Amino acid sequence: MAITTLSSRQFNQDASRAKKAAQDGPVFITDRGRPAHVLLTIEEYRRLSGEPLSLARALAQPSDFDFDPPRLETGSIRPADLD
């Protein structure tokens, strides 16, 4: 994972460069030489924030993913009532 650091001025002048760099890792944006912001891809943000992965979002992802649905309890399955 590559870490990129850009000044606020560099970020403002070339936001597309920052977005491309975020594909490889976090982009630190500095104000007066101090880290002030971090740019991440939405996938990385969701992974870090622990947001649960819905099936629809998982299927929309371009890469492989881990999907481990919870097991149903055997007593919770009932036959369908078709009357």
Whole-number pLDDT of residue 65: 64
Which pTM does this prediction carry? Answer: 0.60
Residue 18 counted as domain residue = yes
Q: For 52-82, write each residue's pLDDT tens digit.
A: 777 777 777 776 667 677 777 766 677 778 8
Number of other residues whose CB lies within 10 A of the CB of residue 27: 23
Number of domains forming the structure of the chain: 1
**Cα gap 58→46, rounded to integer Å:** 12
Q: For 5-55, write each residue's pLDDT tens digit.
A: 999 999 999 999 999 999 999 999 999 999 999 999 998 988 888 877 777
Residue 66 counted as domain residue = no
Residue 72 counted as domain residue = no
- Which residues, in sequence order, are bridge partners of residue 34? 31
Residue 39 token pair: 């740019």
Residue 77 counted as domain residue = no
Whole-number pLDDT of residue 76: 67
Residue 36 token pair: 């002030």
79, 72 contact by CB (below 8 A): no
Residue 65 counted as domain residue = no
Residue 17 host element (H or E): helix 15-22
Chain center to CA of 51: 9
Residue 25 sits in which domain range? 1-53
